[in-house]
């Protein structure tokens, strides 16, 4: 069976008690003249208004102070349309990113953890590919790299976006009647391995069940899949889905945005072999909407 690496396919407290204490103090009966009693009321009201103003501005002040981390150096280059179609790559080793032939939506998929099929924006965000070389000042985690890529997209692509709930059909991934049939593992591993044998697509990973929700839409006409298994452990997972020859031809190089394999009925049985189940549902699904984006100038 031929295998290859599957590359990387998102507050503040309230103060109701303070307001209640001020109100209680103002309601207490005191042996004083009305003229003397007015100034505590005025002071209490001023304090209350001040607290409300600070509470309103605090999230904005803190958000400004806690800016996202950014790369020390970074370059972005648009891939020319006449360039030879080399496989896409996505390397996060060495404290940085080395990315080749990824679209804006493909980059957002990794940076924001949102399936590219749930990201709406300009047409070129699906087609124009970019090469990125970025280096951090020191060792960083995967989560920090994602935040750094978000900063890079905002700075170089002038990206602005918002999250939006849309009512749409989706599938719930739940535990089957017999419970999970996957072997537990000690620690999660980055990436996964995929391969073909006798027209069967196989994907192997060591990680959490939630990672399957990133892959399963490719077999379900792009319909989103939500993890509702409640399983928090790490498992050795092998998903084997039989495909038709025409579906296999639709397999792209890793990292690109594409519409998946279409609809593969065999995915339901493949999921059941893991002790899980896909259930059709309809409801609010979180999506990303690109409000503004520009093609970056090369540097």
pLDDT tens figures, 150-205: 999 999 999 999 999 999 999 999 999 999 999 999 888 876 787 778 888 888 98
- Average pLDDT of the chain is 77
| 9, part of any domain | no
Q: What pLDDT shows up at residue 5? A: 35
For residues 199-232, b (16+ Cβ closer than 10 Å) or e, as one string? eebbbebbbbbebbbbbbbbbbebbbbbbebebe
Average pLDDT over residues 240-247: 84
In terms of domains, do 229 and 264 share one? yes
Q: What pLDDT shows up at residue 270? A: 95
In terms of domains, do 175 and 264 share one? yes
The pLDDT of residue 13 is above 70:
no
Which residue bears the tokens 């109100």? 23
CA atoms within 13 A on the CB side of 122: 14
Q: List the domain range (segments joined by +) for residue 243.
A: 167-286
Q: Is residue 136 within 8 Å of residue 96, measured between CB atoms?
A: yes
| 160, part of any domain | yes
| 2, part of any domain | no
Average pLDDT over residues 78-84: 73
| 133, part of any domain | yes
In terms of domains, do 57 and 122 share one? no
Average pLDDT over residues 93-119: 86
Nearest Cα to Cα of residue 121 among 158, 90, 170: 158
Q: Is residue 297 within 8 Å of residue 130, measured between CB atoms?
A: no
| 53, part of any domain | yes
CB atoms within 10 A of CB 285: 18
In terms of domains, do 206 and 277 share one? yes
| 178, part of any domain | yes
In terms of domains, do 280 and 172 share one? yes
Average pLDDT over residues 285-297: 93
Q: What pLDDT shows up at residue 101? A: 87
Domain count, the chain: 3
3-state secondary structure of 138: coil
The pLDDT of residue 63 is above 50:
no
Average pLDDT over residues 117-146: 90
Average pLDDT over residues 58-74: 63
Nearby residues of 48 by Cβ (< 8 Å), 6 or more positions away: 19, 22
């Amino acid at each position: 069976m031929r295998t290859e690496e599957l590359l990387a396919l998102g507050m503040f407290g309230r103060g109701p008690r303070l307001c209640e204490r001020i109100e209680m103090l103002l309601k207490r009966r005191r042996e004083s003249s009305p003229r003397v009693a007015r100034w505590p009321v005025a002071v209490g009201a001023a304090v209350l208004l001040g607290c409300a103003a600070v509470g309103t501005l605090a999230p904005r002040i803190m958000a400004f102070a806690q800016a996202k981390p950014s790369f020390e150096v970074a370059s972005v280059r648009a891939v020319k349309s006449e360039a030879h179609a080399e496989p896409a790559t996505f390397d996060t080793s060495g404290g940085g990113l080395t990315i080749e032939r990824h679209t804006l939506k493909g980059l957002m998929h990794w940076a924001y953890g949102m399936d590219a099929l749930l990201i709406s924006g300009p047409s070129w965000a699906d087609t124009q590919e970019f090469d990125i070389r970025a280096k951090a000042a020191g060792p960083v985690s995967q989560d920090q790299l994602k935040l750094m890529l978000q900063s890079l997209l905002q700075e170089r692509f002038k990206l602005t976006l918002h999250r939006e709930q849309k009512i749409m059909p989706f599938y719930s991934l739940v535990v089957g009647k017999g419970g999970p049939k996957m072997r537990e593992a000690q620690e999660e591993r980055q990436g996964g391995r995929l391969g073909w044998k006798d027209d069967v697509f196989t994907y192997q990973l060591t990680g959490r069940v939630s990672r399957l929700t990133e892959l399963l839409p490719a077999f379900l006409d792009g319909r989103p899949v939500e993890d509702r298994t409640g399983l928090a452990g790490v498992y050795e997972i092998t998903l084997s889905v039989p495909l038709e020859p025409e579906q296999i031809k639709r397999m792209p190089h890793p990292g690109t945005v594409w519409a998946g394999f279409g609809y593969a009925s065999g995915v339901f049985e493949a999921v059941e072999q893991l002790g899980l189940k896909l259930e059709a549902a309809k409801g609010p699904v979180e999506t990303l909407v690109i409000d503004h984006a520009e093609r970056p100038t090369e540097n």
